[in-house]
Structure 1
Amino acid sequence: MSYQISDTYDGIDKAMRLMRSSMKGMPERYRYMRHYDDLRRAVAVLLVLLEEAAPWMEETREAKESTSRAKKLFAAVS
């Protein structure tokens, strides 16, 4: 599951770089800079939360696998 988070992280990073480069060539970009800055801050928070979620998602997947193995073992014994 964490590979999906890292792919999402990479995709967001690529999109933000593309937006930054397109903002450089935009005429009258000062009109949009406030929105751009707000978006950058929101995306930064999202990326930090994604980084924090990656280990938790990995642990959850492992916990689900071990639970399903335990259920199979219990069913085999019963």
Structure 2
Amino acid sequence: MSYRVTDTYDGVDQAMLLMRRSMKGMPERYRYMKHYDELRRSVAVLLLLLEEATPWLEETDKAKRATTLARKMLEGVR
């Protein structure tokens, strides 16, 4: 599960870099700077929450695998 989180994290990071580069070349960019700054802050919060959720998602995936294995073993005994 964590590789999906890492891929998502990397994809968002690359998208933000592309947006930053495109904003630099934009004429009259001062009109959009307020929206750009709000988006940057929101994405930063999203990335922090994603980082914090990664261990929990890994743990959940391990628990799911263990439960599946236990079910298979129980079915084998019956």
TM over 0.5: yes
After TM superposition, the score normalised by the length of structure 1 is: 0.96
Partner residue of 2:36?
36
CA offsets 1:13-70 (integer angstroms, 9 cap, x no match): 0000010011011111110000000000000011011111111111101000000111
Moved over 6 A (4+): none
Q: CA RMSD in A?
A: 0.7
The one-letter amino acid of 2:9's match is Y
Percent of aligned positions that are identical? 68
Alignment size in residue pairs: 78
After TM superposition, the score normalised by the length of structure 2 is: 0.96
Which consecutive unaligned segments of at least 5 residues does structure 2 have? none
Aligned-pair CA distance for 1:74: 1.2
Aligned-pair CA distance for 1:73: 1.1
Partner residue of 2:60?
60
